[in-house]
Amino acid sequence: MTAEPYASSVDQPSHLRGLLEVGAASVMWGTGGLAVQLIREHESLSPVTISAWRMAIAAAVLLVALLALRRGGELLALARARPRQLLVVGVGTAAYQGFYFVSVTQVGVAVSTVVSLGLAPVLLTVAESVRHRRAPTASRVAVLVAALTGLLLVSVAGHESSTGPAPVAGVLLAVASGTTYALTTAAGGSISRTTSPLVLTSGMTLVGAAVLLPCLALVDGPRVTTDPAALAWLLYLGALTMALAYVLLYSGLRVVAPSTAVTASLVEPVTAAVVAAVVLEEALGPVAVVGIVLVLGAVAGLGRPAAAAGPVLPDPDLS
């Protein structure tokens, strides 16, 4: 069996569109940290509680959209046709977020972010190279190295680098988060090639909510809130950083490889650093600025098929 050829430049517009969709999703994810912080200023909800309600709100919003568009039958058809894949994507999305949140409490934000977000593009780039039986080109390696270096600089400059109470366990959880993130993105990319992003995201969030909501029984502190500001930010998290962002992600995965998508998603910590600087007036030091430039330069480089972190995929709507 010969290696699957990389798509030619005729796919460039679709590739750029997909890259922009993943980038837009990552920008939304990058605002999530600020939203969580603002929620906790009004109500001491745990990160796991916030994550569970975020997923549940997203599922509710998407179900309303499906019913309004009279596309509920497509969700049932997906559940019947690909139940295991849908479960993998839904459970995996809930799991990698949970692993990350717990990792942060054990080893700190900087280490957790670098390990979890940095591991995923490496794993997928290697996996895609093995699958297609061709080593990444020098330009692809350069893009990946620049992105990971930028991630390291932004994360270390933006957070205390001291470890938490259980650094070994925290790193292992971050590895679990990054690995699950990579596997879930690959699985979602496979389904998205033949499924509407709206339908796929609806099914994924329903499964994720079914996994996370029972976890509320295990957390300390309040499990619900009646504070208007906290509720508004929860709605923002569910509707925009979950529902809309994942619709954009799965739409992008129709035309960009999973390794390209997770590399582009490194825009998330960059967005978080910029939002913190603008809204919270946290200073951006020169190290963080260099990191931001490296990440953005690397993501821009992904727009060139020769430097993308994986094969440039043909648009399923055009094939």
DSSP characters over 156-177: HHHS-----S-HHHHHHHHHHH
CA angle 214, 58, 262 (to 5 degrees): 100
In a domain, 95, yes or no: yes
How many domains are contained in the chain?
1
* Averaged pLDDT in 10-residue chunks for the chain of 319 residues: 40 85 95 89 91 97 96 96 95 92 82 90 90 84 93 78 74 94 94 94 97 92 94 97 97 93 93 87 86 94 77 71
Predicted confidence at residue 5, as pLDDT, reads 39
Determine the pLDDT at residue 231: 97
- C-alpha closest to that of 94 among 209, 185, 171: 209
Note whether residue 50 is domain-resident. yes
pTM: 0.90
Residue 60 lies inside a defined structural domain of this protein: yes
Residue 311 lies in a domain: no
CA nearest neighbour of 107 among 174, 163, 55, 26: 163
148 is a domain residue? no
257 in a domain, yes or no? yes
Identify whether the C-beta of residue 113 lies closer than 8 Å to the C-beta of residue 151.
yes
Distance, CA of 203 to CA of 94 (rounded, Å):
13
Evaluate whether residue 298 is within a structural domain: no
Measured CA to CA, the distance from residue 56 to residue 65 in angstroms comes to: 14
Q: What are the angstrom distances between the C-alpha of 316 and each of 11, 37, 80, 90, 111?
A: 11, 40, 22, 23, 38
How far CA 305 is from CA of 30, 286, 302, in Å, comes to 26, 31, 7
The pLDDT, as a whole number, for residue 7 is: 43
φ, ψ for residue 38, nearest 5 deg: -70, -35
pLDDT of residue 1: 34
Question: Residue 122: what pLDDT?
Answer: 93
Can you give the residue range of the structural domain that contains 203?
28-134+159-264
Contact between residue 146 and residue 206 where contact means Cβ atoms under 8 Å apart: no
Amino acid code (one letter) for 304: R
In a domain, 299, yes or no: no
